[in-house]
Amino acid sequence: MPPDRLAAVHVDQQRTRSLLRAIPVAIGRGEVVSQSGAKILRFPADRDLRYIPCVSANDSMTDWPYLTAELPGVGGEIKRFDDDFVVEEAPLYLPSGQGTHTYFTIEKRGLTTHAVIQHIARLLGRQPYDIGYAGLKDAHGVTRQTFSIEHVDPNRVSALELSRAKVLSVDRHTNKLKLGHLAGNRFAIKVRDTISEPQTPARAVLDVLIRRGLPNYFGPQRFGVRGDNAQIGLAVLRENYDEAFALMLGRPGPVDHGAALKAREFFDTGDFEAAAEAWPRGVFSQQSRLCRTLHKTGGDTRKAWRTVDHTMRKLYISAFQSGLFNRVLAQRIATIDRLETGDVAWKHVNGACFRVEDAATEQHRCDSLEISPTGPLFGRRMTEAAGTPGQLEAAVLAECGLQKEQIAAPGSGKTSGARRPLRVPIGEPTLETGADDNGPYLLLKFFLPPGGYATNVVREISKNPEIDPQIG
């Protein structure tokens, strides 16, 4: 696309929308066929080209193009049993054996990281924010991760009796474990009900991912159970708090049921007091509190937003950032392993970034997966790309009717912003078939750096549209 057309992004939103529609995106969709009892996707030679619009309420990973769209998938299903999905943290450093902080590694099943933290905090008589952790883990499967807490006897931690979790080891260290103190994660994933001989097609896909890198999409868990966290974030940035609360507390969807469904129905009728009483206690305590606030303020959503927990504010804005990153990656998927002048490149060895002044000079480092192009996590401190990459990123943001300054506004939680690599290397990859008491499986083992989603490996190899939206 000529630079003069890309420059039109600064004119107005309508012209931006027209401009972006002119950028073709190869969507990873195709004809659903059955092979050996497994549903997979097949793609015609001239794949459908379709523009991906701004964050919408119907986003799912089926909207994101595959890097290996020309290769057949093996179908299959994951997470049928907890033991089918195992993830283990690789620590950035080991505890020293001395210090006031107790480090402890646990194994959990069917629990989110936050659920475990709340449970442990109650047992130890502490607040959840007292407990440090290096990364968030999904509820599904078996996960082994490390936590820290200060001024608690290690013997008390060792003796904890946890529901669906157990303490594996305890040690001491000199500092609190913080988000990002992680070398990466090792995964062991069993894919069941694949085509009859999955190894050859799975190996073909894996070879491409090893050579070109894994698309670094944010997985569906980033966007919440209802998939609308990014839409809430966008509404907040637009200062449309009525819309934000309608999504947070109303508009029942397919995943809502029981008391939560009733609470959303009460909210939609304007009966905030009844909605507050209807929300189940525990995990929905914040929703109940916000409904009471709305009842007291006569439905003033702007005032009510000020009472939203800071962590939740950041979660919604972060989801919006993630959605825009995914859109930039989708636009560049075909050239994910090619640098452009003006790119902000990522050094995989240490996460440092630098501006690419001459793409041709740096491309050999990109070919070896030493560096990669990045996409935006918009915020006040984000380093902006220049040239064509920068213009594309500005266009994606402008399509939502926002200026970058709005993402750093006080109501947004003053998001710092960052760069994120468009791809990540897959470490220690192995692939084998086997069988256990639950039947045959295809076993995938690999290592991903912090922030990488196993979702992206499985979806490229499987290409099963039925599990695609929820495999994160």
From CA 302, how far away is CA 322, in angstroms rounded?
24
DSSP bridge pairs for 185: 89, 448
DSSP state of 425: P
Work out whether the CA dihedral 397, 309, 184, 444 comes out positive or negative: negative
Is 300 a known active-site residue?
A: no
* 301 and 244 Cβ atoms separated by less than 8 Å: yes
Which contiguous run of DSSP H or E holds residue 292? helix 285-296
What are φ and ψ of residue 50, in 5° steps?
Answer: -145, 140
Q: Which two tokens stand for residue 298?
A: 């006569």
**Beta partners for residue 377, in sequence order:** 418
- CA distances to 296, 326, 352, 456 from 270, rounded to whole Å, are 13, 35, 50, 41
Kindly name the residue from 59, 63, 84, 138 that is annotated as catalytic.
Answer: 138
Distance separating alpha carbons of residues 138 and 112, to the nearest angstrom: 5
* 80 residue type, one letter: R
**444: which strand partners?**
189, 431
Residue written as tokens 């309608």? 246
* Token pair in block for residue 66: 């595959």
* Amino acid letter, residue 329: L
Dihedral sign, Cα of residue 145, residue 147, residue 152, residue 153: positive
Provide the 8-state DSSP code for 26: B
- Can you tell me the distance from the alpha carbon of 445 to that of 371, in angstroms, rounded to the nearest whole number? 24
Task: For 318, list phi and psi in degrees, rounded to 5.
Answer: -60, -40
Alpha helices in 216-271, H assignment, sequence order: 229-237, 241-249, 258-268
**Structural contact between residues 345 and 362, judged by C-beta atoms closer than 8 angstroms:** yes
Residue 328's nearest CA partner among 403, 389, 400 is 389
According to DSSP, residue 72 is labeled P
Place of tokens 């569906």: 220
Active-site residues: which are they?
Answer: 138
